[in-house]
Every structure is written in structure tokens, then in C-alpha cells.
Amino acid sequence: MKDILCAPFVEEMKEITANMYRLGWDERNGGNISWMLDEAQVGEYLDLSRVVRTIPTGFEAKPLIGKIFIVTGTGKYFRNIPKYPERDLGIIRIAEDGVTAELLWGFSDGGKFTSELPAHLMSHMTRLSVDPANRVVMHCHPTYLLAMNFVHPLEEKALTHTLWEMCTECMVVFPDGVGVLPWMVCGTNEIGIATAEKMKEFRLVVWGMHGLYGVGKDIDEAFGLIETVEKAAQVYMLSYNRPRINTIRDDELVEIAKAFGLEYRRDFLNL
């Protein structure tokens, strides 16, 4: 059996959480990640018949029975994950009852997965129905996007349109736009249900005055979506209260879409 601490999925979680903390997106114990892993790959590092303990999830996720995830822990700081991966990360499998997580590795201090796990599982189920290649759900608190929440209308068309205008690459990276939820109490099934509903249309969902959910087929895609939105929000916040001399026009956004063969939210343009 190979050393689990050298597994590529553990190494990548260590690297990405350190980067997200460094960027200021995951202060203290803010933010969480879940990544659906390939069973055969995990089997190279763990005895999959050995369950360390079981943990109720608080949510029925029958479509995910048998699926294995590496997840961040509740109350854990992203900045500590590279140093204490076995304590602050866990590898879980959704048990046959659909409401229990079997801990296969990690959470060595007796801890458990993020309190947002039900929201993650709901989003995983929705995104898999839309895109079977989806594997990652990532939640964080990007600084400039969060600031933008307080000075810009929290409405999907308006927010997406503004972000598309900020950088040429935005239309290319998220042509499906950005979903928006109003402020809601986090850590509840209610916000998870609302997020999953938005995930039918969007790969990015803003939690009003809180943060952002991004998904993807791998860590790079989910992270890339979030960093592109955050860059656009930064440009907006650095310029929104000054006279705008130049902008990317809607007809130019259409040109971008044509050049890259994009399927985009045409109803989010003002044409």
C-alpha cells in the first residue's frame, strides 16, 4: 500500500488550500472543498474495507452511495492543512443508507467534515446530472467579490453583465453566467437546496454578503472559475466610483462568443 500522505489528491488539496488562504479567500476556518475521487486510485493508498468510524451527514444522498470524497474539516484553518493534512482533511465514502459517511482516513483528532457537507453533496448531485465529469465543489470568501456584494445589485443578469465587462476572458471562462442567492443562514440544508437549484444553470453561485460556490471537473477548473470572477470583481471595485471612459460593449461580447464558439446567456446582454 502506498503512503497516503504522498497521494496526488492529498498533495493537491494541501497546495490549493494554502493558495486560497494566501489569497485571503479563506480566513480563519472559512471556506470548504469536497472532491469526488476515483475509487481505484484511492485503493492504491487505503484499504477500502477498513472504516475508521461513521459520521451522520444530516442529509440523504442516495445518488452518491459508494462515492468517495476528500473533504476539508469543520473548524479547520486552510493555512494549517499543509502541515496537518491527516487532522484537517478526511476521506469519506457515502454509506449504503445514503445518510452516513464512512471515514476511511483523516480527521485524526476526532473531528469531522465541514458543516457545509450537505450543501456540497446536493451540488454534487445536481452538477453530475448536468455534467457527469463534475468532481469538485469549492466554497470560499473572495475579498473583492464580497465587497462588490455591498455596492452592486445582487441580481444575476446585472452582476454577470458587469463581470463580463471587466475582463475579456470572463465571457470565455463563465459564459453561463453567475447565479445569485440572497443572504441566507449558512450551514443549513435550506441554503444547500437553494444552491443546488442554481447549480442546474450555473457553475458559480454567489451567496449574498457571504461568498461564492464554484464547481468543476477538477480542482484547477473550480479554482480558475473563482479566480476569474474575483479578478473581475477587483477591477470593478477599483474603478466603479470613477467616470467610465471605456467599456467592453455588448456587441463586442457577442464577437467574443462567436470567436470562441461559446454557448452563453444571451438574455444577460442588453441587445
Beta strands 32-37; 136-140: pairing state? antiparallel
Residue 6, exposed/middle/buried by CB under 10 A (0-12, 13-18, 19+)? exposed
User: Catalytic site residue 156?
Assistant: no
Residue 236's pLDDT is what?
98
Please indicate whether the domains covering 1-115 and 116-271 agree at the CATH topology level. yes
Q: Are 84 and 26 in contact, with CB atoms under 8 Å apart? A: no
Enumerate the domain spans of the chain. Answer: 1-115, 116-271
Of the candidates 102, 116, 156, 221, the residue annotated as catalytic is 116
Domain at 116-271: CATH architecture? 3-Layer(aba) Sandwich (3.40)
> Would you give per-residue pLDDT tens digits along the chain (271 residues)?
899 999 999 999 999 999 999 999 999 999 999 999 999 999 999 999 999 999 999 889 999 999 999 999 999 999 999 999 999 999 999 999 999 999 999 999 999 999 999 999 999 999 999 999 999 999 999 999 999 999 999 999 999 999 999 999 999 999 999 999 999 998 888 999 999 999 999 999 999 999 999 999 999 999 999 999 999 999 999 999 999 999 999 999 999 999 999 999 999 999 8
CATH number for the domain whose boundaries are 1-115 = 3.40.225.10
Local structure of residue 33 (DSSP, 8 states) = E
SS (H, E, C) 128-185: HHHCCCCCEEEEECCHHHHHHHCCCCCCHHHHHHHHHHHCHHHHHHCCCCCEEECCCC
CB atoms within 10 A of CB 246: 5
Which pTM value belongs to this model? 0.95
- In sequence order, what are the residues at sequence separation of 6 or more whose Cβ sits closer than 8 angstroms to the Cβ of residue 249? none
What is the per-residue pLDDT for 41?
96
Rounded to whole angstroms, the Cα distance separating 103 from 94 reads 9
Q: Is the dihedral of CA 190, 129, 179, 17 positive or negative?
A: positive
Q: What is the pLDDT of residue 187?
A: 81
Helix axes 156-166, 219-239, angle to 10 degrees: 90
Q: What per-residue confidence (pLDDT) applies to 189?
A: 87
Q: Alpha-carbon distance 160 to 171, whole Å?
A: 9
Identity of residue 103: L
Rounded-to-integer distance, Cα 32 and Cα 111, Å: 15
User: Is 12 in a helix, a strand, or coil?
Assistant: helix
Instruction: Write the DSSP string, 67-115.
Output: -EEEEEBTT--GGGTTT-HHHHEEEEEE-TTSSEEEEEEE-TTS--B-T
- Measured CA to CA in angstroms, residue 258 lies from 53, 64, 174 at distances of 52, 37, 14
